[in-house]
Amino acid sequence: MKNPEEVLPADKLQVAAFYCFIPIEEETIDILLTQLTKNALQGQVRGTILLAGEGVNGTICGPSEGVVSLLENLRQSVFGMTLEVKVSWTDTQAFRRFKARRKSEIVTMGVAGIDPLKSVGAYVNPFNWNTYLSDPDTLVIDTRNEYEIGIGSFQGAINPNTNTFRDFPAWVDASLPWIVEQRGPKRIAMFCTGGIRCEKATSYLLQKGFKDVHHLQGGILRYLEEVPEEESLWDGECFVFDKRVAVNHKLQPGQHTMCHACGMPLARKELQTSTYIHGVQCSHCKDRYTDQDRGRFAERQRQIDERSKNSQKTFPRKSL
């Protein structure tokens, strides 16, 4: 398989989503927090990197040379680290700033004792994933949040209707045994955006006694990268946690935008509704905030628009 970090489209910024479950000492985390910030500044890279005793999780964006250099420095800083990396491209910077943070978990499940390094489901290569989707004896579960599933998923996948990944264990405890009893699947297969949530989700299911648990290696992003669109069983766009909001099957920015008030992804048709006010509210949050809140949002949007105008004056676009 090709190394996507080596592909260099002209005039594009590289977006790299990555993670690795690996024990990291507290002293190493302290060093990395400073080192990564320095690397990002030197390479003109923005994004977010989370560090914890269980590993690293992040998404960054910048010139390809800067992204590749930062990832290589990260690999060299922790012995044995093998990053799961998904790469895409964008015309504009996907993040406003760079942040490296220490966390208790690199993906928050909120359940003590879950360790994918000790117990994890079987990995499914993206090229074999369609077989699982088409198999009536396989129970396929989307481990992402409700708003992510709302803009795209694999047909037939179970939606746990969760608001955050913290809700997933409670759904498993309350609903999954009944579903398994009713449907009688021979195996369970789960997927998420980049694979990290499924690492913990499969570990949790195994701890709860579920058998024959599988998950899509590299997540939806790896599937979209490797499976030809004409063979794909993916329906819709894939939500991503940056300014692009969503990507299509070509891993290019999709048709969705984001409500700057509540953070919900919005389809183009939702921008045409009477309840939508740019930067202030959408149909999802029109009853959530006070008039004072909406006044603050409007002022914030005015300032953003003003900065954007000044930036365009300072750095005019080149004629093609």
| Residues that are catalytic | 192
Q: How far apart are CA 205 and CA 58, in angstroms?
A: 25
3-state secondary structure of 223: helix
Q: How far apart are CA 206 and CA 191, in angstroms?
A: 16
DSSP string, 88-110: EEESS-S-SSEEEEE-S-SS---
Question: For the chain, how many helices (H) and strands (E)?
Answer: 8, 15
Q: How far apart are the first and last CA of the chain?
A: 35
Residue pointed to by tokens 């919900």:
264
Q: Which of these, 22, 37, 187, 19, lies nearest to 98 by C-alpha position?
A: 37
Contact 2, 33 (CB under 8 A): no
The vertex-114 CA angle with 218 and 116, nearest 5°, equals 35
Interstrand relation of 152-154 and 265-266 (parallel, antiparallel or unpaired): unpaired
Q: Is the dihedral of CA 224, 64, 81, 60 positive or negative?
A: negative
3-state secondary structure of 296: helix
Q: How far apart are CA 280 and CA 259, in angstroms?
A: 8
Give the strand order in the sheet containing 187-191: 122-124, 213-216, 187-191, 138-142
CA distances from 261 to 99, 183, 244 (A): 22, 40, 16
Cross-strand partners of 124: 216
